[in-house]
Amino acid sequence: MAIIDTGLTLAGARSEFFDRFTATPRLWPDLCTRYPSNKDVERHRFLGSVPPLREFGTGRLARGLFAERYDVENLKYELTLEVDRDELSDDQTGQVRLRIGEMAERAATFGDSEVARLLVNGHSAGFHSYDGVPFFGATHASGLSGTQDNDIASTAAVPTTPTVAECRTAIKTAIAQLLSFVDDQGEPMNQSASGLVAVVPPGTYLDFLEAVNASIVASTTNVLQSAARVIAFPRLTAASVFYLLKTDVAVRPFIFQDREPIEFTALEAQSDQGFMREKFLYGVRARFRYTYGYWQRAIKVTFTAP
């Protein structure tokens, strides 16, 4: 996400925001495909896959595509901080500058909260994929695909605290399900198990990390070693749920629809607020939208009791 410099006059606040925004770690860029937007509503056309090759035979056979689409409206976001002029003058410990830095961190990581919202609500009505059904569900169907399911279960003695072995079994199940998906032509949607990311709640992070990083398991080579990158999402509150995503593809599970990038502006002494009320305003503004990409690139796994 780029930053527009609108000429902030307070050099300290300006540099603090720019530096902190750039330096702040964020997870969402690895999970989203960036889609540049140039209008209020974008129509995403998820055209069906190109048919496979056939023998030439008596001549060419023109075959159409199975077309699906959905419209995504860009939304406007803002964050405004009001600072009293006297507070700014008397600030000897850099508290105002710290708040500006926090604004930058909020702006940089907002995408993480949006992706988490899409994950957590992906099974609910209103959180639909391009095919008109909830993003995580058992009724996905398109063309020749038949009905497909990306909302699956895996057993654990205590669903909220799965063991390392149970995490390992769940990942295997999720990978197998991901590789089973076909497109509207009946052809495999995911050609390999590369680029996998396991998004897990903090409480199970270390168990999943061990599940895919240990080289030896019960005196046997761990076939899952390095099979997926594990990231902990603090915003995931259901300890019995995790997600497996494929991210090394053109269209990832989520889309960042980028209409107007982050801009940082200020109203200080020269403004009406600054003159009449001695209040300085520092604000962030942007227009964009986080939405769903291909559901075939995401699996939701819920641990259930045997």
Residues linked to residue 265 through DSSP beta bridges, in sequence order: 283
The answer to whether position 25 is within a domain reads yes
Q: What is the CATH number of the domain that holds 271?
A: 3.30.2400.10
* Residue 107 shares a structural domain with residue 240: no
Q: Please tell me whether residues 185 and 287 are part of one structural domain.
A: no
61, part of any domain: no
Tally of structural domains, the chain: 2
Question: Encoding tokens for residue 100?
Answer: 């500006």
Examine the domain organization and report whether 143 and 226 are in the same domain.
yes
Same domain, 173 and 229: yes
Whole-number Å distance between alpha carbons of 280 and 277: 9
Statement to judge: residues 159 and 268 lie in one domain = no
Residues 264, 178, single domain; the answer is no
Q: Which one, of 19, 9, 6, lies nearest residue 103 by Cα? A: 19
Residues 232, 144 share a domain: yes
Identify the three-state secondary structure at position 43: strand
Predicted structure pTM score: 0.86
Ordered per-residue pLDDT tens for the chain, 306 residues? 554 444 344 566 777 888 999 999 999 999 999 999 999 999 887 766 667 777 787 767 666 656 677 889 999 999 988 877 666 665 554 677 788 889 999 999 999 999 999 999 999 999 999 889 999 999 999 888 999 999 999 999 999 999 999 999 999 999 999 999 998 888 899 999 999 999 999 999 999 999 999 888 877 889 999 999 999 999 998 999 999 999 999 999 999 999 999 988 876 545 455 444 467 778 899 999 999 999 999 999 999 999
Are both 227 and 269 inside the same structural domain? no
The answer to whether residues 74 and 38 belong to one domain is yes
In the prediction, which pLDDT does 220 show?
82
Do 87 and 160 share a domain, yes or no? no
Same domain, 38 and 91: yes
Cα(1)–Cα(195) distance, integer angstroms? 22
Which structural domain range is residue 245 located in? 120-253+294-304
216: Cα within 13 Å, side-chain hemisphere: 3
Please say whether the beta carbons of 1 and 261 come within 8 A: yes
- pLDDT score of 93: 45
Judgement on whether residues 32 and 91 belong to the same structural domain of the protein: yes
Give me the pLDDT at residue 99, please.
Answer: 83
Pairing of strands 196-200, 229-232: parallel
